[in-house]
Amino acid sequence: MFASRVAAIAALSLCAVATAQAQPATPVQVINLVSYSYRPMPIVLRAGLPVTLQFVNRSGKGHDFTAKKFFRSARILSGPVGGGEIDLGPGRSASVTLIPAPGRYPVHCGHPFHKILGMRSTIVVR
């Protein structure tokens, strides 16, 4: 009796490990913030599927990624999205894992004059 319970527990443990290994990793979409633009442009994501957005400020100035409607409509799984924006100092990065909702969402940098200088884009979620 004891041996059969141990065998059952071992079998369940192996199934759990196999299931965990079989699940694909969450894809990562790198979003570069450069002087007065975002790359890629536009940002295209798949609706309803988890994705990690890795924001990287490759410039020597501070920038942000403001997309209030996008972040409000998405299901945030982890990461800092205070007020619908990601604010990054020079050379800094941050990651947010979320499940995006379908739609088209505007993005811009909220720092003075950055939007006017071209730092705006669109997120397309299909």
- Predicted confidence band of residue 6 (pLDDT cuts 50, 70, 90): very low
Q: How many domains does the chain have?
A: 1
Range of the domain at 31: 26-125
Identify the band that residue 102 occupies on the pLDDT scale cut at 50, 70 and 90. Answer: very high
| 14 is a domain residue | no
Bridge partner list, 105: 123
Q: What are phi and psi for residue 25, nearest 5 degrees?
A: -70, 150
Residue 24's pLDDT is 76
The answer to whether position 11 is within a domain reads no
Confidence at residue 3, expressed as pLDDT on a 0 to 100 scale: 55
Give 4's DSSP letter.
Answer: H
**Whole-number pLDDT of residue 21:** 59
Mean pLDDT, the chain, as a whole number? Answer: 89
What is the model's pTM?
0.81
pLDDT surpassing 80 at residue 13: no
